[in-house]
Amino acid sequence: MRAFASSVLAIALAVLAFALCGPRTAWGIGHDDGVSQVGLQAGVASLVAQADDGSSHASSYAVYKKDGFVYRADSKGNALVDGAVWGSVSLGDMADDNLGKVDVLFIDSDVRKIDDAFLMSYYPAKGLDALRTSALPTGKMKSVRTLVFKTGKDGKNACNYIGNLAFSGMLVTSVQNLDKTSVTSLRAAFAQCKNLERVALPNSCKTVEGTFEGCTSLKAVSFGTGVTSIGSLSFCRCASLTAIDLPASLRELGVDSFKECTSLKRVVLRSPSRVLSHWPGRPFSGTPVEGEGGVGYCYVPANLVRSYETAALSTGWGALSNISFKPIVGVSASAVTYNGHAQTPAATVTYLGKTLVVGRDCTVSYSNNVNAGVGRISVVGAGAYKGVATGNGTFTINRASIAKASVTGVVNKPYTGNRVEQKPKLRLSGRTLVAGQDYLITYKNNRAAGKATVIMTGQGNYLGRIERSFAIKAPSVSYCTHVQSFGWQRYVKDGEIAGTTGQSKRLEGIRIKLASLPDGLGGSIQYRTHIQSLGWERGWKADGGLSGTTGQSKRLEAIQIRLTGSMGAYYDVYYRVHAQHYGWMGWARNGQSAGTAGHSYRLEGIQIRLVPKGGNAPGTTANRFRQR
């Protein structure tokens, strides 16, 4: 009761002051050459007028009444509007007539709540009595150009609630320090503020819905870091908005949220592509972003371009639009070819479609840039783009072709009966390639004697194919014999019969030699004979030398033949003789005796063959030599 009495007394004193001093003196407003400002204070509700000279005058009234609605502040500092008349004094007409035009409206740092339609000057719908069409004089509020949320010593404003349509229709050009509040939701709070040009939302704000509908002068919005939902019509008909940067926190875009933003050509979507699944309608309908001919673009993180395109099509929304998705930071470089060294191709860097100057606007570094595959480029913004133009890109390192490599080490090889292999060496651009790492080796027809092919196929950092042919040569053995009454016969080879059979003619001498030796194959063929009345020769003859006798009429009775050197390593020599009384005897090999000794039987014919090492004998090896 004492507080109420004090309030009534204060009001009465104010009425008296108004009567004595006149309306302009009581409010301290009305300087013809000044800028008037009004503030909404917490605690005891009051209107504070401030002239351009910085002086201020506060009315003593505890309530302010207009059209049956009362502005007051509760004990917690919440700015409220309700229909209850606090006290019995009506000062509405008096204040309205003398408030003057207000250019700057302050919201005190302690005001925590601004109720629905608190300062609404105009809304085209009818029958909205519940919106409390104006808590302060409607006509006077239309003059406000700047709305300021005052900050306390902590740099913040206590406001945590702004009601639906709270400032709708005001002709404010700017809203200052809204980002210093802790408001979490804004529903149509600034709808139809046609002169509003810029605004920054607090990090606490999570929901925007219809907030800036019809703000035709709005050019820039800063969302803070907390917005998760931009509801229906939030920026509808914001015709001056050319670009919008949506935060990474965003998870939902409402129907027509940017509808008919006729100047909107650039939208930055930093959130994951799943945001598309929460687009129930076409948020950019009627904007250049969704227009024909690629006039505008949606910029997204480079690694999400494909995801956004896929998601847009899968929702059916993208199929109805012409939106093009481009990377926020685009990084590209021409493909290069592997050369064994780190490669740094010139990078083209774009930020929101603008090409940056490397070295001035950004710096680039490279990694994974030696081996064939995908090289990586890292970009860090510099100068005017520091902290924003940061991203990653890739470039292709193509595999090098071995087609022009020089090839050595492919030579003709001896026939061995097994697969014959080579050790080719490839050299390309001054570098010796590594078999098994840089290229694989395969073969065609490399077992049988004849023409074979070695195939080198690039792998790892190399591609392409090289083929080289080589010969697989089987060495040949040639031999001739000196035959009784015939003398020397012509040379035969490789298993053919030298001498006679069925004619009872003795062999008296023999010459044996190797022919057609492949490259890299060496050694010799050696032999000795058992001669009538002389026995085994003491030394070995080789490579066409005479073993036996001529002109002495001495028969050959047995023979031994062997190979030396690499010939002996790769081949066995097989031989058999046609002996008196025995005919063809078994096959001997590698120095074994073939024929007879102590029987005085003559050799009449001989066959000699080369067989790859470990191969099968040409026939039976039994009864190859008889000695008495």
User: In the structure, what pLDDT confidence band is assigned to residue 74 with cuts at 50, 70 and 90?
Assistant: very low
**Structural domain boundaries in the chain:** 329-398, 419-473, 476-627
Judged by average pLDDT, the poorest of 36-50, 241-255, 321-335, 551-565 is: 36-50
pLDDT, residue 378, reads 97
Quickly list H helices, 488-580.
Answer: 565-570
Say how many residues make up the chain.
628
Residue whose C-alpha is closest to residue 493's, from 501, 485, 481: 481
Statement: 329-398 belongs to CATH 1.25.40: no
pTM assigned to the model: 0.61
Q: Could you give the strand order of the β-sheet that contains 336-337, starting from the edge strand earlier in sequence?
A: 336-337, 391-398, 373-381, 362-367
Spatial distance between the Cα atoms of 396 and 244, rounded to a whole number of angstroms: 33
Count Cβ atoms within 10 A of the Cβ of residue 54 and give its class: 0-12 exposed, 13-18 middle, 19 or more buried. exposed
Residues 6 or more apart in contact with residue 435 via CB below 8 angstroms: 423, 424, 425, 426, 441
* Residue 52 amino acid letter: D
Place of tokens 């001529």: 550
Query: Could you please report the per-residue DSSP string of 370-405?
Result: SSSEEEEEEEEE-GGGTTTS-EEEEEEEEPEE-TT-
Spatial distance between the Cα atoms of 576 and 267, rounded to a whole number of angstroms: 96
Residue 483: helix, strand or coil by DSSP?
strand
Spatial distance between the Cα atoms of 47 and 32, rounded to a whole number of angstroms: 20
Structure tokens at 172: 């404010």
Mean pLDDT of the chain, nearest integer: 80
pLDDT, residue 292, reads 61
| Residue 488 CA neighbour count, 13 Å, CB half | 13
Residues 6 or more apart in contact with residue 9 via CB below 8 angstroms: none
Spatial distance between the Cα atoms of 608 and 363, rounded to a whole number of angstroms: 80
Spatial distance between the Cα atoms of 580 and 602, rounded to a whole number of angstroms: 5
Distances (CA, A) of 303 to 306, 350, 371, 386, 400: 7, 15, 22, 21, 28
> Burial letters for 416-426: b for 16+ Cβ neighbours within 10 Å, e otherwise?
bbeebebebbb
Residue 574: pLDDT above 60?
yes
Distances (CA, A) of 489 to 144, 479, 492, 540, 558: 132, 9, 9, 22, 19
* Residue 478 amino acid letter: S
Does residue 453 or residue 9 have the better pLDDT? 453
pLDDT digits (tens, 9 = 90+) for 480-533: 999 999 999 999 999 999 999 999 999 999 999 999 887 778 899 999 999 999
Residue 124: pLDDT above 60?
no
Q: Residue 277 phi/psi, 5° resolution?
A: -70, -10
Does residue 53 or residue 304 have the better pLDDT? 304
Instruction: Give residue 55's Cα distance to chain centre.
Output: 63
pLDDT, residue 312, reads 67
Does residue 282 or residue 387 have the better pLDDT? 387
Spatial distance between the Cα atoms of 4 and 9, rounded to a whole number of angstroms: 9
For the chain, the straight-line distance linking the first and the last C-alpha, in angstroms and rounded, comes to: 156
